[in-house]
Amino acid sequence: MTLSRHDLLTIGQLAERSGLATSALRYYEKVGLIHATRTAGGQRRFERASLRRVAFVRAAQRVGLSLDEARAALDRLPQDRAPSTGEWSGAAAAWQHRIDQQIEELERLKRKLTGCIGCGCLSISRCALYNTDDRAGMAGPGARYLLTREPTTGPESRPPAG
Amino acid sequence: MTLSRHDLLTIGQLAERSGLATSALRYYEKVGLIHATRTAGGQRRFERASLRRVAFVRAAQRVGLSLDEARAALDRLPQDRAPSTGEWSGAAAAWQHRIDQQIEELERLKRKLTGCIGCGCLSISRCALYNTDDRAGMAGPGARYLLTREPTTGPESRPPAG
DNA sequence: GTGCAACTTGAAGCCGACTTCAAGTCAAGC
DNA sequence: GCTTGACTTGAAGTCGGCTTCAAGTTGCAC
């Protein structure tokens, strides 16, 4: 452990301890997720708090947040100290909600799937699996917008990213 | 409804009824998810079964399958008739499993998150949220490979696609 | 003071799942 | 038979989240 004062980390050290590639960390810095000071020679030096931020981002990704969303959440937390309980629970509340939504969606899908195994129909017009029923839909001939998640303006509009 | 005999659908009709863009359907055909016959003039004509296949694919995507995986599942189903209960439940079993896994992962994450709100620590070494605990990890100084899902050969290896 | 690993940069590449474009052809209603 | 909208193609572009590359520089142990 030959760290400079203040326990500054090189990008390699941060990579090793966070499990991310150095290229990913450089990318994270570029998009403003983490910040680095520079040595006289121009090399990055990270505060230990960056570890926390990186971990936060990775956790956010697991919940399904994009890096943009993670950054937005991070921006509401202090840069260089551990967040207070209040700050943290505020940032985490969004995740809770997100997780709950995702679980709910999956449960719904599972219920439908179970039902479908029983019927074996796979009929577009009848099968519950194909008709999300949280959409108005059905305005016209046939079941439209079967599995889209957002109101669309027409068949040529952009489906969910995946 | 001016359909040719056998109820063949144009790509536009399939798009409207499935909710996908025609470009997406062309793409699906290109990657072998659906198949089309051609008119003398070279235009695509889809069997109604394509609607079922498209819906299957979209449902598969919701479960988190890639198009490749969806195709693999589809390939075990009949091309031009509704699958039997057995065929269908076989194909769906994989989904069930997938859904269960996803729900489980989210529940785990949620439990950790809840605990973390209480403690507010966000400490790399202590916070349960950051330590997946389904990984061996911890082999060395600090918590490595915090949130990766697969065993990695080193810090430079590829993290999960997201 | 030297050797070498670790660092620097910008640009380009990659993946999946599409969309967009341009320029041309087909099909069907009048 | 003409018009017009729907169709055709391949190539290129998009987006997020990175990785890879090449060529050069820094920092630290000895």
Q: What percent of chain A has pLDDT over 70?
A: 61
Q: Which two tokens stand for residue B65?
A: 């399958």
Give residues with Cβ within 8 angstroms of A107, minimum separation 6: B103
Which tokens sit at B39?
A: 């008119």
Which one is predicted more confidently, B47 or A7? B47
Nearest to B54 by CA among A120, A117, A130: A130
User: Residue A1: which pLDDT band, with cuts at 50, 70 and 90?
Assistant: very low
Picking from A55, A62, A114, the residue whose alpha carbon sits closest to that of residue B106 is A62
Residue A32 has pLDDT above 90, yes or no: yes
State the smallest CA–CA distance between residue B83 and chain A in angstroms: 7
Confidence of residue A28 (pLDDT cuts 50, 70, 90): very high
Instruction: Write down the number of H helices and E strands in chain A.
Output: 5, 2
Residues from chain A contacting residue B17 (CB–CB below 8 Å): 124, 141-144
Chain A residues close to B127, C-beta within 8 Å: 55
Answer whether A147's CB lies under 8 Å from A130's CB. yes
Q: Output the six-digit token pair for B43.
A: 């235009």
Quickly list DSSP for B27-69: HHHHTTSS--EE-TTS-EEB-THHHHHHHHHHHHHHHT--HHH
State the nucleotide closest to B45 in CA–C1' terms. D7
User: Who wins on pLDDT, A83 or A122?
Assistant: A83
Is this prediction's pTM over 0.85?
no
**How is residue A97 written in tokens?**
């909600």
Distance from CA of B90 to the nearest CA of A (A): 9
Residues of chain A with Cβ-Cβ distance to B55 below 8 Å are 122, 124, 127, 129-130, 146-147
Query: Which residue out of B34, B74, B106, B144 would a mutagenesis test of the A interface target, given it has the greatest number of A Cβ atoms within 10 Å?
Result: B106
Q: Residue ranges per domain, chain A?
A: 5-95
- In this predicted structure, the answer to whether residue A3 has a pLDDT above a threshold of 90 is no
Q: Which residues pair with B37 in a beta bridge?
A: B45
Say yes or no for a CB contact (<8 Å) between B96 and A110. yes
Distance of CA A26 to the CA centre of its chain: 19
Q: Is A107 helix (H, G, I), strand (E, B) or coil?
A: helix
Q: Which of B29, B88, B31, B85 is nearest to B56 (CA)?
A: B88
Which range of A114-128, A148-162, B124-138 scores highest in mean pLDDT? It is: A114-128
Domain A5-95 in CATH 1.10.1660.10: yes
- Angle formed by the axes of helices B49-63 and B22-30, to 10°? 90
Please state, in angstroms and rounded to a whole number, the distance separating the CA atoms of residues A64 and B107. Answer: 14
**A60-82, pLDDT tens digit by residue?**
887 778 999 889 888 887 766 66
SS3 B80: coil
pLDDT at A120 over 60: no
Tell me the pLDDT of chain B (162 aa) as tens digits.
444 445 899 999 999 999 999 999 999 999 999 999 999 999 999 999 899 889 889 888 877 789 998 898 888 877 666 677 777 777 777 678 778 877 887 887 777 776 665 554 544 445 555 554 333 222 222 222 333 332 223 333 333 332
